[in-house]
Amino acid sequence: MTITAPKTNNQKLVNIRALAAKCCYSVIDQGRSLGDELPKQQDKALAKDKGLLQEICYGVMRYLPELENDVRGLMQKPLTGKQRVFHFLLLVGVYQIKYMRIPDHAAVSETVAATGTLKNRHMKALVNAVLRNFVRATEKSGVTESTIPDSTLPISIQYNHPSWFIKKVQEAYPDKWQQILTANQQKPPMWLRANQRCHDSASYQKLLAAEEISINSVDPLSQGIELTHPIDVLKLPGFEQGWISVQDGAAQQAARLLDCKPGDVVLDSCAAPGGKTCHILEQYPEIASMTAIDIEASRLVRVQENLTRLNVEATVIAADAANSQTWWQGQYFDRILLDVPCSATGVIRRHPDIKWLRKASDIDALVILQQQILKETWSLLKPGGTLLYATCSILPQENNEQIEHFIKNNTDAKLVPIDGEKNQTEGTIGWQLLPGENNMDGFYYAKLLKVEA
C-alpha cells in the first residue's frame, strides 16, 4: 500500500519579517504604494499573520528616519545594491524591539531567520550582531521609545517626517505644526457610516450595542460613528447587506455639505473608490441621477463593488476630469462634488508611506492639475448650481489659496459659508480640518455657488 504524505502549506514556511522587508524595500527604494505592495505580500501569509505583517510595515513607514538613525549608529557602512533589502530587514527588527510587545529574543531570532528566506544566509551574522547590539544598547539606556523628540537630532528624525514637509507645515501652521506631526504618527480610528436607506445612525448604534461593539463618539454634524477599537468589517451587523460602510468622519462631511435637492443631476468627479458617491446616493434617494467619473478604470472596479453592496445605482465612467470633451454628453449638473487629486497630506496617519513617496516638487504640479480640473468642471455646472471642492490635504496651496485664486478669476463663483469655518484662522477661505481634529483625518472643503457673471 502506498501512503501519500499530506501536502504541506507552503505559506507556513514564509517568514513574516522577510515579507515585511520586501514590502518596505518596494515602497522606499522602488517608489511603490504601500496600499499596492502590502496585499501582495499578505497573500503569501497565513490569515493569522496578515495583521502582524501590516503592523510591521506600517510601523517602519511611520518611524523610518528614526529607525534608520538607530541602524546607522550600529554599522560601519550602509548596505547597498543586492544587500539593500537587508537594510529594511534591520529596520523591521529594530521596529519590533522598540515599538511592539514581541519579546526581544523572539524579534531577533525571527528577524535573523528571515535571512534564509531572503536567500542570503551570509547576512545572518550581520543581522544578528546589529540587532543584539541594539537590544544591549536599549537595555543599558533603559529607554526604547519616547514621546519627547530629541532636540539634538535633525528635525526629520525627531518628528519622523521629511524635512521639506515639516517646513511647509511650520509655515502654514506656526502654532500647530507639532500637533499636526504628532497626530500623523497615531494609528487612525475606525469610523462608520450608516446607510440611511436601511438604518439611521441612532438605530445602527443599537445594533452595535447588541453585539457589544463599543462606540467612542458620534459626530454631531454627519452622525458618523467612531468605534472605540477597529474590528473586522465582517463583524459589523449587516455589512454584507449594505447597512454600514467604513469611512473617516472627515470624508463623511461631503454628502451633507453638497446638500442635494430632489431632482438634482449630480456629478462626483474623481470618484474612486466611491465612498462619497455611495454616501450621496444613500442620503439623497430622490436625486434624478448620479454620474461618477475617475481617470483610472481599474479603480472604478471598487466603485462598482461599493455600489452593488449598498444597492444604489450610478453611471460610472472612466474619464479624465480635466478634459470633459472625452466623456460629457451635454447635460449640465446641479451639484458637483470635486474631490481633486492632491498630496494626501491630511491622511498620513492612514497612509504613512505618503511621507516618503511624496516630494516637494509634486505640490506645484498638483496645484496646476487642480486648477485645470476645477476650471473644466466648473464649466459643467448649471447657473444656480453648487460645486463642493474637496481635498485630503492640509497644504494651503492646494486648498484655500487654490479657491481664493479661482474666485478672483471667475466672477460667477461665489463662496458659500459652511459650518466649521467658525473654527478657522481668520482670513482662511473654506473649512480646513487638521489631522486628529475631532479624531478625524485632515480634510479641506470649499463650497462654491455659480451665479450670473
Q: Please state, rounded to an integer, the average pLDDT across all residues of the chain.
A: 93
Answer whether 0.85 is exceeded by the pTM: yes
Q: Return the C-alpha torsion angle 170, 173, 179, 180, nearest 10.
A: -80
| Residue 450, CA distances (Å) to 70, 330, 385 in order | 55, 18, 6
Among the residue ranges 104-113, 335-344, 421-430, the one predicted with the least confidence is 421-430
Q: Domain total for the chain?
A: 3
Residue 10: predicted pLDDT: 44
- Phi then psi for residue 239, to 5 deg, are -60, -50
Helix (H, G, I), strand (E, B) or coil at 433: strand
Q: Model confidence at 146, in pLDDT bands (50, 70, 90)?
A: low
On the question of pLDDT at 288 being above 50, the answer is yes
Q: Model confidence at 3, in pLDDT bands (50, 70, 90)?
A: very low
Which residues, 6+ apart, have CB-to-CB distance to 8 below 8 Å?
none
- Phi then psi for residue 342, to 5 deg, are -150, -175
**Cα Rg, the chain, nearest whole Å:** 24
Residues 391 and 284 reside in one and the same domain: yes
Residues 239 and 274 reside in one and the same domain: no
CATH number of the domain where residue 97 is located: 1.10.940.10
As a whole number, mean pLDDT of residues 26-53 equals 96
83 is a domain residue: yes
Is the separation of the CB atoms in 122 and 116 below 8 Å? Answer: no
432 is a domain residue: yes
Residues 312 and 436 reside in one and the same domain: yes
Count of other CB atoms within 10 angstroms of residue 397: 17
Q: Which amino acid is at 336?
A: I
Residue 122: predicted pLDDT: 87
313 is a domain residue: yes
As a whole number, mean pLDDT of residues 294-306 equals 96
Residues 103 and 220 reside in one and the same domain: no
Residue 248: predicted pLDDT: 98
* Residues belonging to the active site: 392
Residue 348: predicted pLDDT: 98
pLDDT digits (tens, 9 = 90+) for 230-261: 999 999 999 999 999 999 999 999 999 999 99
Nearest Cα residue to 124 out of 107, 110, 106, 112? 112
Residue 2: predicted pLDDT: 39
108 is a domain residue: yes
On the question of pLDDT at 169 being above 70, the answer is yes
As a whole number, mean pLDDT of residues 434-438 equals 97
* 3-state helix, strand and coil shares in percent for the chain, rounded to the nearest 5: 45, 15, 40
Residues 279 and 425 reside in one and the same domain: yes
Task: Give CA–CA dist 181/169, Å, rounded.
Answer: 9
Half-sphere exposure of 406 (CA within 13 A, CB side): 32
Residues 296 and 403 reside in one and the same domain: yes
Is the separation of the CB atoms in 216 and 183 below 8 Å? Answer: no
Q: Model confidence at 143, in pLDDT bands (50, 70, 90)?
A: low
252 is a domain residue: no
On the question of pLDDT at 197 being above 70, the answer is yes
How many residues does the structure list for the chain?
A: 453
Nearest Cα residue to 418 out of 439, 394, 393, 443? 443
Residues 212 and 282 reside in one and the same domain: no
Q: Which domain holds residue 320?
A: 257-450
CATH number of the domain where residue 236 is located: 3.30.70.1170
Residues 306 and 224 reside in one and the same domain: no
Residues 198 and 98 reside in one and the same domain: no
Residues 94 and 224 reside in one and the same domain: no
251 is a domain residue: no
CATH number of the domain where residue 382 is located: 3.40.50.150
User: Which among 140, 160, 175 is the end of a domain?
Assistant: 140
Residues 287 and 196 reside in one and the same domain: no
User: Which among 80, 110, 140 is the end of a domain?
Assistant: 140
271 is a domain residue: yes
Cell numbers for 24: 518596505
- Phi then psi for residue 413, to 5 deg, are -105, 120
Task: Give CA–CA dist 101/97, Å, rounded.
Answer: 8
As a whole number, mean pLDDT of residues 211-222 equals 97
Residues 269 and 213 reside in one and the same domain: no
User: Which among 140, 159, 174 is the end of a domain?
Assistant: 140
H or E stretch including 377? helix 360-378
147 is a domain residue: no
On the question of pLDDT at 11 being above 70, the answer is no
